[in-house]
Amino acid sequence: MAATSPLLDTLPSIDPATGKVLQSYERTSPLAVPQLLANARAAQQSWAKRPVEERCAQIAILKTKILEARDLLADAVVRESGKPRAEAKFADVFVALDSADYFAKHGASLLKPESVAHHSLAAKAKSGMLFYEPLGVVAIISSWNYPLAIPMGQIVAAVVAGNGVLCKTSDFTPECGELIDKLFRDAGFPADLVTIVQGGGEVGQALIDARPDKVFFTGSVFTGRHVAEACAPLLIPSVLELGGKDAMLVLGDADVEVASSAAVWGSYTNCGQVCLSVERLFVEQSISEVFIQKCVEKTQKLRLGSGSDPNTEIGPLIRPQHVQRMSELLADGVQHGAQVLCGGRPRPDLGPNFFEPTVITGVDSSMKLFQDETFGPIMAIRVVRDAEEAVGLANDTEFALSASVWTGDPERGKGIARRLRAGTVMVNDLISGFAIAEAPHGGCGLSGWGRTHGKAGFLEMVHVKYVDVDRLPRMEKPWWYRYGGDLEKAADAFLKFEFAGGMFARLRHARAAMKTMFRDHGLK
């Protein structure tokens, strides 16, 4: 609901294409956050008692509401993030729908208790089970570049697992936050189970100070460090997705036409404001000339404009300071010997946040374009001798989120993928792994820790409990008191019986080992 509060109590919804304020939304007071979290705890306790099948059925209703509102949602994403409408539907609406569909269908099986097989003879008389229980209330601090896909994928997983959620959507996309709140209300979820809070860093800090059971953060390395530092004294576990410096390796046997099209899309989709976008492109020398030529030709044909124009292929950057940063990164590259082949200029004639998609070659690790996350429409290319050099250079970064390998030999591609330091490596595709519900998303190093999406991400939303039932409840355990020399000898025999090399060696110690099982404790 649009706010009528004073300016300091509101968040502006700004169109990046024009820089105009479209509307203002109520800002959440940091002082209100502890009570909101307490309300979520109360709602979560009832929600967690519902059968998981019932929770999944509620998610199926949510999916229907997302589908019904797809045009309204896409319009809001375009207005606040600036991306073309086709991208809003593919990357935001589709991912939100697919997350809901996946967990509605598979949430119950993901939470199904699992038996634990015991390999040790000492544990054969025990029956072990794993149970997956809710954490409680999780805090989600989300990003503006995919203002629907990122928070929805995490919220859906959290509530299926039986958790309550406080989600701070980006202060750049308050309308999208309001619409997410409305989706859960319209789908009939209990009041206070999912609460959207609006604001900047002060609200994020208040979320952590209120002591949720876990924090999920998506954003910059700089802010991620502050989140980790705020969580640490309180021993709040966290999942951090902090971006990438993703490498694209184009081998000499790759299909140049397809690989160049992929490079163009992978570098510029959402105006390059994608944690998985191509930020370092390594192409083998044997095909480098024709590959670079095709990348330049295809880049020069792209149409810049407002995301609301169906012909637009590249929208604006999110804010003017991002435009300035693109100019600074390119200037640093040129100063160190790189060459801009096309683009490279702001476009104030189109609006305050437009920047031409750019191809720059001769880039190396001395330049900021190969060190810092770019997060903009710049394709930075380096020609390499062979795949070995490409792998070495690709791994020469503190980021480790995603990468791609392009080759006519898929088996060779898989082998190279195994050698790349990244959370996800795609062979002959890129970025779309994020839209595969079963695929985990996340990295290590400066890309953060933990996972979202898929089973690995779902396990971040639960407490794993091991339950052990002894099948011989009337028998005292051989390792209990009374200690003595006889028990030590029997224990040694048992160790040799359990872990000696061959069958005959083990059998030699079997009789003595059994003394650990059948003895008088003498404590009755």
- Condensed to tens digits (0 to 9), the pLDDT of residues 338-361 reads 999 999 999 999 999 999 999 999
Q: Report pLDDT for 125.
A: 84
User: 400 - beta bridge partners?
Assistant: 444
pLDDT digit string (tens) for 61-106? 999 999 999 999 999 999 999 999 999 999 999 999 999 999 999 9
Spatial distance between the Cα atoms of 338 and 333, rounded to a whole number of angstroms: 5
pLDDT above 70 (res 325): yes
Distance, in Å, from the CA atom of 418 to the CA atom of 31, rounded to the nearest integer, reads 48
| 335/346 Cα distance (integer angstroms) | 19
Identity of the residue numbered 121: L
Q: Can you give the residue ranges of every domain in the chain? A: 40-242+456-465, 246-431, 476-524
Nearest to 322 by CA among 302, 351, 299: 351
Residue 521: pLDDT band (50, 70, 90) is low
Reduced to 3 states, what is the DSSP secondary structure of residue 168?
Answer: strand
Higher pLDDT, 506 or 153: 153
pLDDT for res 495: 85
Q: What is the pLDDT of residue 5?
A: 38
Q: Does pLDDT of 2 surpass 60?
A: no
Q: How far apart are CA 259 and CA 33, in angstroms?
A: 48
The kind and range of the H/E element at 65 are: helix 52-68
Strand-pairing partners, residue 131, are 465
Nearest residue to 404 via CA among 226, 281, 225: 281
Burial code of 492-504, b = ≥16 C-beta within 10 A, e = fewer? Answer: ebbebbeeeeeee
| Domain 246-431, CATH homologous superfamily name and number | Aldehyde Dehydrogenase; Chain A, domain 2 (3.40.309.10)
Q: How confident is the model at residue 508 (pLDDT cuts 50, 70, 90)?
A: confident
Q: How much is the average pLDDT of 291-295?
A: 98
The alpha carbon of residue 83 and the mean position of all alpha carbons in its chain are separated, in whole angstroms, by 20
Residue type, 37: L
Mean pLDDT of the chain: 94
pLDDT grade, residue 238 (50/70/90)? Answer: very high
Q: What residue type is assigned to position 143 of the chain?
A: S
Among candidates 404, 469, 425, 372, which has minimal Cα distance to 130? 469
What pLDDT digit, counting tens, does each position of 487-499 carry? Answer: 888 888 888 888 8
Lowest-confidence segment of 5-9, 118-122, 447-451 by average pLDDT: 5-9
Q: Which CATH superfamily is domain 40-242+456-465 in?
A: Aldehyde Dehydrogenase; Chain A, domain 1 (3.40.605.10)
Catalogue the active-site residues: 241, 275
